[in-house]
Amino acid sequence: MQCTVLSDAVAPPVYLDRTTEHPTLRGTWRAVLHYKELLRSLVARDLKLKYRGSALGFLWSLLNPLVMLVVYTVAFTVFLQRGGEQFVFLLLLGLLGWTFFATSMAAATGSLVDNAALTKSLYFPRAILPLASVFFNLAQFLLTASVFLPLLMIYYGIMPSWALLTFPVLLALQALCVSGLALTLAALTALFRDVRHLVEVGLGILFWMTPIVYTLGDIPPRVANVIAYTPVSPFIRGYQAIVIHQSVPPAEVWVAAVVYAVVCMALGARVFARIERRLGELL
C-alpha cells in the first residue's frame, strides 16, 4: 500500500492512502474539512510572515485602504467636487469589500501554479491552497474593519443598530462567493496560464462596474440596473445599508448575494474536483 507523508512545518505528519484518492465534488469538501487544521495553520503562518520583522506590524494593513481612501476622497470631493455627507464612509465600505474580493482573486489564481513543487511532492487537498488565500484576506478584512468602522461610526454619529447583526451573514455569503471563484480560477490557471493575466484585466474593469466611487443614483437607471448585480455590488450595497443607513438590506440584495454564493461555490468545487485529477500532469 503506497502512502504519502504530509510533514510540512505548518502541520503534523498525516498519512493517507493514495490509492483511495478519487477527487469528486463531495470528496473535495470532505478532504478540506479533514485538513481544516492545515488550512488554519497556513493562514496563521501567512499572517505571521506578513508582519514579522516589521516595526509597524498590523498597521501596514491599515495603510493601503487609508491611502486609497484619502486619494479617492481628494479626487472626488476637491477636484471633481462630488460626494456629499458620509461619502468617505460609503467609500471605505466599498473599498473594504472590493479589496477582500480582488486580493483574494489575485492570490488564489496562481496558488496552484506557484506551489507546483509542493503539490507534486506532498499529498494534501489541493483546494487548501486557494482557500488559504481567501481566508488570509478575510482575516485582513476583519482586522481592518474592526479598526475603521467603529472610528467612522463615532465620527459620523452613527449609533449601532440591530441591522448590524446581519453584517456577519452577508460577509459569510461573500466569503462563500469568493471561495468558489478562487477554486475555479486556481483550477483554470493550471489548465491555461493566461487566466492569471485575464484576471488582472478583468479586475480593473470590474472595479468600475461596482458602485464604490459612485452610487447607483449617480448613473442612468438602465445602467444602474446592470451595475446593481455585478458580482461584488450586492455585498457592497448590503454593507452600506447595514452600517450607514442602519437598515437590513433589501430583498433583492439578499437574493443576489445568496445566488452568487451558492452558484459560485457549487461551480468552483465541481470545476476544481474535475481538474484536480490532472494536476500532476498540468503542473
Asked if residue 236 lies in contact with residue 218, where contact means CB atoms within 8 angstroms, the answer is no
Q: Give me the helix-helix angle, 59-74 and 128-155, nearest 10°.
A: 60
Q: What is the pLDDT of residue 276?
A: 80
Report pLDDT for 43.
85
Tell me how far apart the alpha carbons of residues 116 and 120 are, in angstroms, rounded to a whole number.
6
How sure is the predictor about 237, in pLDDT bands with cuts at 50, 70 and 90? very high
- Scanning the structure block, which residue is given the C-alpha cell 498525516? 14
For range 47-73, the mean pLDDT:
71
Calpha distance 149→154 (Å, rounded): 9
Sequence-distant (6+) residues with CB within 8 A of 114 are none
pTM for the model: 0.83
CA–CA separation, 200 and 193 (whole Å): 12
In whole angstroms, give the CA distance from residue 203 to residue 97: 13
Residue 6, pLDDT above cutoff 60: no
Q: Cα 283 from chain centroid? A: 24
Q: What is the mean pLDDT of residues 251-257?
A: 97
Could you tell me which of 93, 138, 68, 134 has the C-alpha nearest to residue 237?
93
273 versus 181: the higher-pLDDT residue is 181
Please give the grid coordinates belonging to residue 282. Answer: 498540468
At 97, the pLDDT band (50, 70, 90 cuts) reads: very high
Mean of pLDDT values over 209-236: 93
Residues 154-170 have pLDDT tens digits of: 888 888 889 999 999 99
Furthest CA-CA distance within the chain? 71
Grid coordinates representing 2 are 503506497
| pLDDT at residue 148 greater than cutoff 80 | yes
Q: Which is more confidently placed, 46 or 216? A: 216
Which three-class secondary structure state does DSSP give residue 14?
strand
- Predicted confidence at residue 157, as pLDDT, reads 86
User: Which pLDDT band holds residue 40 (cuts at 50, 70, 90)?
Assistant: confident
Q: What is the mean pLDDT of residues 218-244?
A: 94
Helix or strand holding residue 254 (H, E) = helix 251-276
- pLDDT of 283: 62
Mean pLDDT, residues 198-216 taken together: 93
